[in-house]
Amino acid sequence: MCKWLTDQNVVPEWVAQGGYVLILKPVRIIAIIAIAMLIRWLLHRTISRLTASTSRAAMPALLKPLKERADVTAEDAQYIPERRRQRAEAIGSVLRSFVSAVVFTMTALLVLGEFGFNLAPLLASAGIVGVALGFGAQSLVKDLIAGLFMLLEDQYGVGDTVDLGEATGVVESVGLRITTVRDSRGVLWYIRNGEIVRVGNKSQGWAMVVIDIPIGFVSSEEAVAVLKEAADAVAEHPDHQTEFIEPPDVVGVETLTVDGATIRTIAKTTADSQVTVQRELRRALTEALENTGLSGRIAASRLAPRSATPPAWHNGPENSSPSMGEQRPGGPA
């Protein structure tokens, strides 16, 4: 337009150039920024709606992890897991930050192009700087990628009891680079996500309680009957009835040593109730052995001294040797 006005001698050339610099260029720059902000707002809104639907119970089946695609009851559908909400918020925050970085970078390059900068050397320099930063910050990139996949796969969340190798405890916070775990002694561990090789989550799904009780040399059938009755009483108690997924089972003799037999009792419980059920079962089984008198018999059988009398063959005439000055019966005088 400015060139046409100059060619037609409508306005002087300096007026046309001034109008282009003072009017047209700012308008184009403002339009670029406005379009970029609109694109960013639309992408952020899409990500927010997606993460919000993911954090609700009625999320699309395609976005659910495989372990969560099973049919749930109406009562379970009203429960929104805190881990899913935090996971969705963390993933949404990462995606929004990534979108903002891409949009602002492209906007800055377009604005610099409007000011007449040669973008080819700038892009080449940015590529070299990016490669240098990639080599220098490999551990940081490794931590970020590991944290992102950890969130996507929902390996653990805040409040879970996990075993991360050297650190075992309750997860207090989960980030893209650092996971904090507080162990049973109260020590807070800061663990880089890239250094986590294996994860043992004790709070997902169900848990198994395994209790081994030595019974010495008493009757195993009698001990199994007593322990079975005590375990069933715990499972039927109103305070613990909902904590059992399957009824407890006394499987029988697990090991047999010189100190006697060991009876194993197992129970499938919810993950949150494992410790409570384990302690309650131990108490009930111990009291059952004491109330039936088996506890004293077990202690007596384990502490009973072994007979010091040598076997008959040991003192036989063919194995006995006369001491000095003694002669065998029937020998010479």
The SS3 call for residue 116 is coil
Q: Which of 18-22, 69-73, 96-100, 186-190 holds the top average pLDDT?
A: 186-190
Q: How do residues 127-158 score in pLDDT, each as one tens digit?
A: 777 777 667 677 887 888 888 888 777 788 77
Whole-prediction pTM: 0.54
* DSSP-based three-state secondary structure for 196: coil
pLDDT at 323 over 70: no
Q: Is the pLDDT of residue 41 over 70?
A: yes
Instruction: Compute the distance between CA of residue 153 and CA of residue 147 in angstroms, rounded to an integer.
Output: 10
Find the distance separating the first CA and the last CA of the chain, reported in whole Å: 149
Q: How far apart are CA 156 and CA 90, in angstroms?
A: 13
C-alpha dihedral over 25, 26, 27, 30, to 10 degrees? 130
Residue type, 318: E
Look at 327 and 263; give whichever has higher pLDDT: 263
**pLDDT given for residue 227 in this prediction:** 92
Instruction: Map out the domains of the chain with their CATH numbers.
Output: 2-68+80-136 (1.10.287), 154-201 (2.30.30.60), 206-303 (3.30.70.100)
Look up tokens 């302690």; give the residue: 279
